[in-house]
Amino acid sequence: MFKKLLLVVLSLLIIGILPVHAERTYFFQCGDITLWEPVEETYIEGQQEKEQGPIRVSRGIGIGWFKPGNAVEILETVDFGDGIINMSAKVAAQYPEDHFEVNMPDARFEIRIDSHDGPIIAYVKPVGTTSWEIMEDAEVEITGEGKNVKGEHTIFIVNRIGTPEEYLEGTLKGSCNFNELEIVTNAEEPTPKPTPTPTETPEKTPVLSQTPEKTPTTDRSTSSPYLIPRIIGTVVVLGAAVIVQLVRKRGK
């Protein structure tokens, strides 16, 4: 019983003493054209005018028509923190599995930082997958530079499968699509911003509009400025009637 208790105490001490390493994962599915864009300055004259055209998404799952010497830039900045924990990649190529190993042993993709000709942090070796629509894991070799990379950097993928001259001459022995790249770094996950609580707008109490008081209409029948003329008119009419009656009596 005492030994079990001692083991529990030691375990708790170890958990409390050993540091917990930060870990952040970046995953780039290269069939999403919004994640990357071609570095046009890596094109050479005549290379993009051939029948294959410019670099673009292939089969909706990866970077296709990727020519020797060309590069693409990943548009999201990667925070490496204190270094790389792991890196993996998937590729696709319509050749037998050992095609590149046998015919193009130096073929590779370069993973660079900050520029298409910046420091190389990893090599990705192409592999035949028998179909352009089948992705498989590629061998990834992290370089000495990659083991020491720290902080935030932009990623560039450069195609070194053959040479631009071989492509223009039509002597290139193979090509490969780049489909996925995953980088696990020793960086803290960003703290999510708290969602602001919406404040309710108090309803306005409707203001009752007062009915304007009607201006009293002057009764002209009783108002003194109008009463005198009415009396005079009445007297004139009565006088005229009396005169008419007198005239009639005389005439009889």
Domains of the chain with bracketed CATH: 21-185 (2.60.120.260)
User: Is the pLDDT score of 213 beyond 70?
Assistant: no
**Mean pLDDT across the stretch 13-29?**
72
Give the pair of three-digit tokens for residue 138: 């590629």
User: Is the pLDDT score of 27 beyond 90?
Assistant: yes
User: Is the pLDDT score of 62 beyond 60?
Assistant: yes
Mean predicted lDDT score pLDDT of the chain: 83
- Give which of 163, 11, 151 is closest to 77, Cα–Cα: 151
Q: Read off the pTM.
A: 0.70
Q: Which of 64-68, 78-82, 194-198, 231-235 has the lowest mean pLDDT?
A: 231-235
23-36 per-residue burial string, b: 16 or more CB within 10 A, e: under 16:
ebebebebbeeebb
User: Is the pLDDT score of 117 beyond 60?
Assistant: yes
pLDDT tens digits, residue range 137-166?
999 999 999 999 999 999 999 999 999 999
Mean pLDDT comparison of 21-30, 217-226, 228-237, 241-250, highest-scoring range: 21-30
CA–CA distance, 161 with 172 (Å, rounded to integer): 9
User: Is the pLDDT score of 184 beyond 60?
Assistant: yes
